[in-house]
Structure 1
Amino acid sequence: MKNVYLTKSEKQIMHAFWQADHPLSCTELLSICELRNWKDRSIFSMLNDLLDKGLLQSVGFVRSGKTYARTFEAVVSQAEYLAGIIKTD
């Protein structure tokens, strides 16, 4: 895995995914990271950035009220990510 820069908020999001034992929806992610005051719009932006960086993937849908919400999971483990940071070429 190539070295990918993560912001502080992106690291917190990835930590939640690495600790989870199942794919998370945005609503679940917000409940896990309840100490953060992220707005819905910013969380969607951060999730899309993590998708673009290849660290997350969309894996399905769950019922959320009257609609469905996408679920996501980490593509790389925390160990793989950390190894990519310290690896020198």
Structure 2
Amino acid sequence: MKKYQMSNSEEIVMNVFWQTPEPLTVSQLSRLLTGQDWSKNYIHKVLRWLSDKEFIKVVGIAQEGRYQAQQYVPTLTKDEYLAYMLEEQGVNNSLFARIAVTLFKKDKKQRTPEQDEKLIAELEKMVDEYEAQIEEKSKEK
């Protein structure tokens, strides 16, 4: 995958892809992009940008009336993209710890002990996954 950051328009389109399990055509995207007053030409342009960056790919052709339209799917999940962006921005153990503390302190008075336990378990899982990734990368070298 080529590694680039997404523009706002690209991110809006990708969020539609990430929320839709099936491949999408430009017409389908146009209907799903609620709140956007984009022409189909602009949607084509955004799809070309995303394709050039290898965030989406063509997986087939769909019949739409008298025309055939390409169907697109994302090449990565939202979590994979966010992990890539965090890595690019230099997430390290210190930042990881600050994020965890911030999450834990947020709305502390409104949480139950069960919610605290769930949050701690999720944070521990994140740390374990992060450590596993670091270990895997060190083995690759």
* TM-score normalized by the length of structure 1: 0.93
Structure 1 runs of 4+ with >6 Å offset: none
Larger fraction in helix: 2
- Name the CA distance, whole Å, in 2 between partners of 1:34 and 1:41: 16
Please say if residues 24 and 71 of structure 1, whose CA atoms lie closer than 8 Å, have aligned partners that are also in contact.
yes
- Name the CA distance, whole Å, in 2 between partners of 1:26 and 1:37: 14
What's the counterpart of residue 53 of structure 1? 53
Any stretches of 5+ residues in structure 1 without a counterpart? none
In the TM superposition, residue 34 of structure 1 has moved relative to its aligned partner by 2.6
Equivalenced residue count is 89
Q: Which has the larger radius of gyration?
A: 2
The answer to whether structure 1 residue 14 and structure 2 residue 14 are counterparts is yes
* TM-score normalized by the length of structure 2: 0.60
Please say if residues 55 and 75 of structure 1, whose CA atoms lie closer than 8 Å, have aligned partners that are also in contact.
yes
What's the counterpart of residue 105 of structure 2? none
What's the counterpart of residue 65 of structure 2? 65
What's the counterpart of residue 30 of structure 2? 30
Identity of aligned residues (%): 28
Please say if residues 62 and 69 of structure 2, whose CA atoms lie closer than 8 Å, have aligned partners that are also in contact.
yes
Query: Structure 1 pair 62/28, CA: closer, same or farther in 2 (3 Å)?
Result: same
- Higher relative contact order (Cα pairs below 8 Å, separated by 6+ residues): 1
Any stretches of 5+ residues in structure 2 without a counterpart? 92-141
Please say if residues 57 and 75 of structure 1, whose CA atoms lie closer than 8 Å, have aligned partners that are also in contact.
yes
Larger fraction in strand: 1
Q: CA RMSD in A?
A: 1.5
Q: Which string of whole-angstrom CA distances, capped at 9 and with x for unpartnered residues, describes residues 29-86 of structure 1? A: 1111131011111111100000000100000011111010000000010000000111
